[in-house]
Amino acid sequence: MKLRWLGHSGFRLEIGNQVLLIDPWIGNPLFDAGRRGEAIEGVTHVLVTHGHFDHIADTIAIAAEKQVPVVGIYDLVTWWQQEHGIEVIGFNKGGTVRLGDVAVTMVSATHSSSFGGPHGPVYAGTEAGYMIEGEGRTIYLSGDTDVMADMGVFEALHHPEIGILCAGGHFTMDMKRAAFAARTFFNFRTVIPCHYRTFPLLEQSAEPLRAGLPGVAVLAPEVMEEVVL
């Protein structure tokens, strides 16, 4: 299992026989545009958590270029299918879809979901997180969220060993709240923060997360650095 952070909340995850792009915003300030081809090479699916621009900005272009499905909340992706002619796999919370030999279950998050329209924000379905299961392990991808008591249910049902947690603050949990969520509700072996460093408004260091999770491997890779999990 190999993971690369694409900056902000974007990831390239190679798991089982799949290459998943998660919340791709390739144009984010941390990403070197010259490495775009490397980031999307061999992608099999694009997975989105919600409709905010910093999570979907490059989704339609990549799906069309690579001719791969976008996987996400039914309301948003089926609208994209109608408007842009891309292939989609739409489902909803509690549902599980199989992508090759990888199982993806949509779980709740607490945030908002919209994109800009000519007269203001446009409804984009609801925000979500995912449990991604493959190679005998499970990853919890939080999406944008705050701490939720639902996380205790996620642990009881899925037992994820790896957590990819939003932790930048202001729009989501900050590092201290993400650490609280991880140690209160989960038994992670590995935690990777995201949704940070992109702008001065967000947290710039993962050290508070690391300090709040003694005994857990808190990884803070650089953009496009390959992590073997």
pLDDT above 90 (res 120): no
In whole angstroms, give the CA distance from residue 30 to residue 39. Answer: 13
Cβ(13)–Cβ(39) under 8 Å? no
Q: How many domains does the chain have?
A: 1
pLDDT above 90 (res 117): no
Cβ(189)–Cβ(163) under 8 Å? no
Query: What pLDDT is stored for residue 116 in this prediction?
Result: 85
| Domain CATH for 100 | 3.60.15.10
Range from 25-29, 108-112, 122-126, 128-132 carrying the lowest mean pLDDT? 122-126
Query: What pLDDT is stored for residue 51 in this prediction?
Result: 95
The pTM of this model reads 0.97
State which residues form the domain around 53. 2-228
Average pLDDT over residues 155-180: 98
pLDDT, tens only, 189-223: 999 999 999 999 999 999 999 999 999 999 999 99
Average pLDDT over residues 28-45: 97
pLDDT above 90 (res 122): no
CA distances from 91 to 33, 97, 178, 223, 225 (A): 31, 8, 27, 30, 31
Query: What pLDDT is stored for residue 213 in this prediction?
Result: 98
Residue 84 neighbours by CB under 8 Å, 6+ apart: 60, 64
